[in-house]
Structure 1
Amino acid sequence: MHHQFLAHLTHQRRLSEHTVAAYANDLKQFAAWCLGEHEIATTSAVTRDHVKGWLASLMASGLAAASIRRKLSSLKAFYNYQQSRGLQQENPTLRIPIPKLSRRLPVAVAEKDIKRLFDSFPDPLTNDHFPLLRDHLLLALLYQCGMRRAELIGLKQTDVDLNHRRLSVLGKGDKQRLVPFGPKLAELLECYNELRAGTFQEEEVAALLLTDRGKRMYPKYVYNKVTEYLKDFSTEEKKSPHVLRHTFATHLLSEGADLNAVKELLGHANLAATQLYTHNNIKRLQEVYRQAHPEGKEPDDS
C-alpha cells in the first residue's frame, strides 16, 4: 500500500526524490512502532490513540518539534490518500494536537565575511584551475541567486542566458522561475564555460556544474564544498548550502529590497516563509537605532 502512495507522491504530486524518501522513512518508522508496541500490522487498525502514542514517544526521545510535525504531516498525507481511494474509513490523524515550533531565525553570514570569502578567489579571467574556478562559481550562484542545493545541482548549461543575464531555475513542484544576475557573475560564468569546454572535450554532460572528473554533482558533494569554505570565513555554527540562500535573502532585505520581490527570487510558495528574514532585518535596525538615535541609547550606569 505504501508503494502506491509513494508512486503518487513522485508522479502526481511531483515531489523530489529526497522528500519522497523522507515520507517513506516516516511511514516505515510508524509501521515498526505499531507492530512493536501494539502488534498492529494493518493501516486500517490504527486509531487516533496510536498516532498520539507514537508522537508522545517521539517527544520523549527528545526529537525536535519540527521533525515531529513533519512525521505527522507524512502520516496525514498517507491517510488522506487512503481515504480518497476508498481504502480507509476512519482517518486516525484528524484533530491531533501539533507540537509547537520554537521559531528559529535563518542563519546568515555577515557581509564583510562574504566579501572576504569571494576576495580569496583569484580573478576568474586569469584562473585556469578548473576545480578552483568551479568552486568560485558554485558559491557565487548560491549567494548571488539564492538557490536551493537541489536547484543548483539541477541547473543545466541551457538554463543560463548570458545575453539577458538571467537563470531559469527549476524549483519545488517543478515550478520554473527566472533569477537575474549581475555583470560579475556573468563574467565568472563565461570564464567557467570556456575552461569547462577546454577541460572536458570528450564527455558532454547537460549539468552546468561538474565535479573535478567532469561528472554531475550530488548533494553531499555540494554540502562538503560549502562547509569547507565557510569554516574559514564564517563564525556561524551552521555552514550548509542553505545558509548562503539565507544570506542572499537577508542581504537583499537589509538593502531595502521589496519583500514580494525577494519571495519571487527565492521561489517561495507564500509570503510567510519570506517574512522570517525580516526578523533578522528588524534586529539589525534595532541595533542601528540603539547606536545612532539620541533617545535610543542605553542609560549610562555610572
Structure 2
Amino acid sequence: MVVSDKDALAVFIDYLSKEKRYPENTIIAYRFDLEEFARFLALEYEMTAPHLQDITTSMVRSYLANLKDEKKKRSARTINRKISSLKSFFKYHLRIGNITKTPMSGVIAPKARKRLPQFVEQQDMGQLLEHTVFPDNWKGYTDKMILTIFYHTGMRLSELVNLKESQVNQEGNNLKILGKGNKERIVPVSTELMTSLTGYMRQKRKDLEGPDTTVLLVNEKGKKLSARSVYLSVNAWLSTVTTIDKKSPHVLRHSFATHLMNNGADLNAVKELLGHASLAATQVYTHNTIEKLKDIYKKAHPRA
C-alpha cells in the first residue's frame, strides 16, 4: 500500500494506533517528534511539502545537530527518542513501498547516561497504603484502589485506566492484563487485593447512578478514569510520603519491581510480571538491588 507524501504522517499514526496499539501518550510523542522534524525541513530547506524520497541522511544529521545546539541543548535521552521516532517512521514507509531507502541508515544515536529507575522506599509504601487516611468519598476510595493496584501489580498507566471488570479473575486470584502490542499476561494478586477489587465493583453499582460496568475503575460520575487524572492523583499522594524527584504511576511500577528484586524474586519472574519483551529491560532493577547490598555492607561490615 503506497500512500501519498502528504498522508505519510497520518497513515503512520493510524498504524501505531490500530495495528501496534500503542498507548495514547506514546502516539502523541511520535507525532510531536515527526511534526518538529517537518518544521525543521520547512525552515532550513524550504521543504513545506517534501517528498519522502527527497529527505536525505545529511538533512537528518543537520536536524540532530540543531537539537544539540546550545540554545536548545536537548539531552541524549531526548535526541535518542526523536531518532527512534524517525527510524520507525521511515522503516514503516520503506516496508509499504513508499520509499526505496531510508535516510536513517548511518545515523548513530548518542550514548545516553544510564539512570537507575527511581522508586519509593518499601516503608514509605507501607505508610501510604496502611496508615494514610484517605477522604471518605468516592474519589478517596478510588485513589486508594489506584495506588494499591499499581503497587501490587506493577502495571502501566494505560493498562490500569483500560482495565476491565472481565479481566478480574476471582476464582484464580489474578488479573489478565492487556499490555503493549496487545500482549496478554497474567498477574497473580493477594486474596486481600482480590477482596478489595470485588468490593469496589459491588460498591460501584450501589453508590453510583448508572456507572460504567465495563471498565473497573471509574470517577464519581461513574465514567472511565482519564490517564491525566490518575497521574495527578498518584503524584499528589506520593508527595505525602517521599521526596524523590519523580512521583508518577511509572515510579510505582519501578517500586513494584525493585521491592520484588530486593526480596529475592527471580529476574525472569519479574520480567513476566512486568510484561517486558526482553530480559534486558528488566535487568536494570538488579542494579538497584546491588546498590542496596552495597549500602548494607557499608553499614554492617566492620572493615567496610
Task: Say if 1:145 and 1:248, in contact at 8 Å, map to a contact too.
Answer: yes
Q: Which residues of structure 1 form unaligned runs of 5+?
A: 298-302
- Separation (CA, whole Å) in 2 of partners of 1:270 and 1:198: 43
- Separation (CA, whole Å) in 1 of partners of 2:160 and 2:21: 18
Q: Which residues of structure 2 form unaligned runs of 5+?
A: 1-7
Measured at CA, do residues 119 and 203 of structure 1 come closer, stay the same or move farther in structure 2, by a change above 3 Å?
closer
Task: Say if 2:34 and 2:86, in contact at 8 Å, map to a contact too.
Answer: yes
Which of 20, 30, 49 is the matching residue for 2:27?
A: 20
- Separation (CA, whole Å) in 1 of partners of 2:143 and 2:102: 49
Structure 1 counterpart of 2:123: 112
Structure 1 counterpart of 2:154: 146
**SS of equivalent residue, structure 2 residue 176:** strand
Which of 58, 63, 72 is the matching residue for 1:54?
A: 63
What letter corresponds to residue 93 of structure 1 in structure 2?
M
What is the Cα deviation at residue 81 of structure 1?
2.1
Which of 43, 53, 60 is the matching residue for 1:44?
A: 53
Structure 2 counterpart of 1:222: 230
- Separation (CA, whole Å) in 2 of partners of 1:287 and 1:195: 45
Task: Say if 2:40 and 2:63, in contact at 8 Å, map to a contact too.
Answer: yes
**SS of equivalent residue, structure 2 residue 280:** helix
What letter corresponds to residue 18 of structure 1 in structure 2?
N
- Separation (CA, whole Å) in 1 of partners of 2:32 and 2:252: 28
Structure 1 counterpart of 2:18: 11
1:33-81 CA-to-partner distances (Å, cap 9, x unmatched) read 0110111231222111110010111122111212211111111122122
**SS of equivalent residue, structure 1 residue 98:** coil
Structure 1 counterpart of 2:239: 231
Which of 97, 118, 123 is the matching residue for 1:86?
A: 97
Task: Say if 1:128 and 1:195, in contact at 8 Å, map to a contact too.
Answer: no
Structure 2 counterpart of 1:278: 286
Task: Say if 1:205 and 1:216, in contact at 8 Å, map to a contact too.
Answer: no
**SS of equivalent residue, structure 2 residue 175:** strand
What is the Cα deviation at residue 178 of structure 1?
0.6
Structure 1 counterpart of 2:175: 167
Instruction: Compute the TM-score of the two structures, normalised by the length of structure 2.
Output: 0.91
Aligned residues: 293
User: Identity across aligned pairs (percent)?
Assistant: 39
- Separation (CA, whole Å) in 1 of partners of 2:143 and 2:22: 28
Instruction: Compute the TM-score of the two structures, normalised by the length of structure 1.
Output: 0.92
What letter corresponds to residue 8 of structure 1 in structure 2?
Y
What is the Cα deviation at residue 201 of structure 1?
4.3
1:173-220 CA-to-partner distances (Å, cap 9, x unmatched) read 010111011122123223322221211242343110111221100111
What is the Cα deviation at residue 268 of structure 1?
0.6
Which of 68, 73, 86 is the matching residue for 1:75?
A: 86
Structure 1 counterpart of 2:5: none
Structure 2 counterpart of 1:300: none
Structure 2 counterpart of 1:97: 108
What is the Cα deviation at residue 9 of structure 1?
2.3
What is the Cα deviation at residue 121 of structure 1?
4.3
Which of 155, 166, 170 is the matching residue for 1:158?
A: 166
What letter corresponds to residue 176 of structure 1 in structure 2?
E
How does 1:166-185 map onto structure 2 within 5 Å?
166-185=174-193
Root-mean-square deviation (Å): 1.7
**SS of equivalent residue, structure 1 residue 168:** strand
Matched, 1:197 2:205: yes
- Separation (CA, whole Å) in 2 of partners of 1:210 and 1:70: 33
- Separation (CA, whole Å) in 1 of partners of 2:132 and 2:220: 17
Task: Say if 1:263 and 1:274, in contact at 8 Å, map to a contact too.
Answer: yes
Choose 44-53 or 167-176, whichever is displaced more.
44-53
